Amino acid sequence: LWTMHSYIDQAVEAIRNQVGNEKVILGLSGGVDSSVAAALLHKAIGNQLTCIFVNNGLLRGREAKTVQEVFGRHFKIKLQYEDASNLFLKRLKGVTDPERKRKIIGKTFIEVFEAATKRAGKAKFLAQGTLYPDIIESVPIAGNPAAMIKSHHNVGGLPKKMRFQLVEPLKSLFKDEVRELGLELGLPREIVLRQPFPGPGLAVRILGEVTPRRCEILREADTIVVEEMKTSGWYYKIWQSFAVLLPVKSVGVMGDERTYDYTIALRAVESQDGMTADWVKLPYDLLEKLSSRIINEVKGVNRVCFDISSKPPATIEWE
Ligand code: XMP
């Protein structure tokens, strides 16, 4: 840890030199990178930092609460919470095409974020949790179609007309260094060691139309997956594990009743960087626990499947 310890002093000084007495805005997602950036910036410039957290209605269960608890209450970071869930869900109504979903979410995010920065007061700087690999990977590689399959790149996501200067205090670091730094800065393990979660959130794990009801079903299943993966110790060993809601209903039986309900697919993958991935051979007793808990506890689901596809040719997310 000594490397990160001395890195903090250097980084704090560099941030102070760059921003002086100016205000800085950071879009906080709750993911590892923006969380560590927030903690580091707060250490360097305290109240000159305002974090904006957008609830897009597509977050995991308790996510908004966790972020408010950790950053607002514990770190006492100035946190501007924007609940735009109704707007996002309204715009997603009736949309089933995966790329259109992503575009709508991306565009709405920028709109909401831009309006929020205005309310946050005049800031000269925008901070981002860009890592070293983000910079390298955003350089288009000729003939690499994988780089273009999904419109999900986070680098350069905000419009140029937002006239901010960028502060990117993590841009020389790799992911494992960022995690070390986060722990050193006192962030909880729950945040620092979390698995990646896509920007468009649960929307890309709800196949077909995203409705409030479907969000609720997936959110409940997801909570169970996270819980059981953590309890069994598998959560921290693998790249990602999550539930996907399929728009497929099938016949089942519950007590004396015939049911006609949704199917949940479970996905668990091992990966180094998300570019390729292998499905994880989770033990049968864990799969059994996941399946029986989801079917018994989540109303509207009567069947659970396990995705045994690797990337390529399948992607990690289903959309
Ligand atoms: P795919 O599904 O393309 O995912 O194999 C590779 C990795 O990227 C994550 N992912 C995203 N991350 N915004 C993000 O920040 C996005 O729009 C997005 N889409 C996919 C995915 O979870 C996996 O780790």
Residue 144 inside a domain? The answer is yes
Q: Are 290 and 224 in contact (CB under 8 A)?
A: yes
Residues 165, 24 share a domain: yes
Is 103 a pocket residue for ligand 1 (Cβ < 6 Å)?
Answer: no
Would the CB of 106 count as within 6 Å of ligand 1?
A: no
The domain boundary residue, chosen from 140, 166, 192:
192
Domain count, the chain: 2
Is the pLDDT score of 151 beyond 80?
no
Quick one: average pLDDT of 78-90? 98
Does the pTM of the predicted model rise above 0.80? yes
User: Measured from the CA of 151, which atom of ligand 1 is nearest?
Assistant: 17
Inter-residue contact 304 to 218 (CB < 8 Å) = no
Q: Are residues 154 and 217 in the same domain?
A: no
Residue 159 predicted with pLDDT over 90: no
CA–centroid distance, residue 127 to ligand 1 (Å): 21
Distances (CA, A) of 319 to 87, 98, 218: 21, 6, 15
Note whether residue 319 is domain-resident.
Answer: no
Boundary-marking domain end, from 192, 216, 249: 192
What is the arithmetic mean of pLDDT over 105-126? Answer: 96
Can you give the CATH number for the domain in which 270 is found? 3.30.300.10
Residues 187 and 214 in one domain: no
The reply to whether 148 and 213 lie within a common domain is no
Q: Are residue 213 and residue 97 in the same domain, yes or no?
A: no
Q: Are strands 301-306 and 257-270 parallel, antiparallel or unpaired?
A: parallel
Query: Are 212 and 184 members of one domain?
Result: no
Take residue 155 and report the two structure tokens written for it.
């680098």
Say yes or no: 70 and 140 in one domain. Answer: yes
159 or 249, greater pLDDT? 249
The count of residues in the chain is 319
Pocket of ligand 1 contains residue 31 by CB under 6 Å: no
- pLDDT interval class at 36 (50, 70, 90): very high
Convert the pLDDT of each residue in 289-314 to its tens digit. 999 999 999 999 999 999 999 999 99
Looking at the structure, tell me whether residues 75 and 6 fall in a common domain.
Answer: yes
Mean pLDDT in residue range 149-161: 53
In this prediction, residue 5 carries a pLDDT of 84
Report the nearest-CA residue for atom 17 of ligand 1.
152
Looking at the structure, tell me whether residues 35 and 162 fall in a common domain: yes
* 3-class SS string, 226-248: HHHHHHHCCCCCCCEEEEEEEEE
Q: 22 CA distance to ligand 1 centroid (A)? A: 33
Nearest CA to ligand 1 atom 4: 316
pLDDT of residue 266: 99
Rounded to two decimals, the ipTM of the complex is 0.98
Q: Are 197 and 152 in contact (CB under 8 A)?
A: no
Taking the C-alpha atoms of residue 60 and residue 32, their distance in angstroms, rounded to an integer, is 15
For the CA of 150, the nearest atom of ligand 1: 3
Q: Among 76-85, 123-132, 138-147, 237-246, whose mean pLDDT is lowest?
A: 138-147
| pLDDT surpasses 60 at 143 | no
- Co-location of 67 and 160 in the same domain: yes
Answer yes or no: do 98 and 227 share one domain. no
CA distance 120 to 80: 8
Between 141-145, 160-164, 219-223, 237-241, the lowest mean confidence (pLDDT) is in 141-145
The three-class DSSP label of residue 221 is helix
**CA dist 26 → 124, 125, 147, 229, 278 (Å):** 12, 9, 26, 31, 34
- H or E stretch including 212? helix 212-232
pLDDT in tens, 3-23: 788 999 999 999 999 999 999
Do 180 and 31 lie in one domain? The reply is yes
For residue 240 and ligand 1, the question of a CB distance below 6 A is answered with yes
* Domain extent for 163: 2-192
Residue 217 near residue 301, CB atoms below 8 Å: yes
CATH label of the domain that carries residue 135: 3.40.50.620
For residue 98 and ligand 1, the question of a CB distance below 6 A is answered with no
Look at residue 316 and tell me if it is in a domain. Answer: no
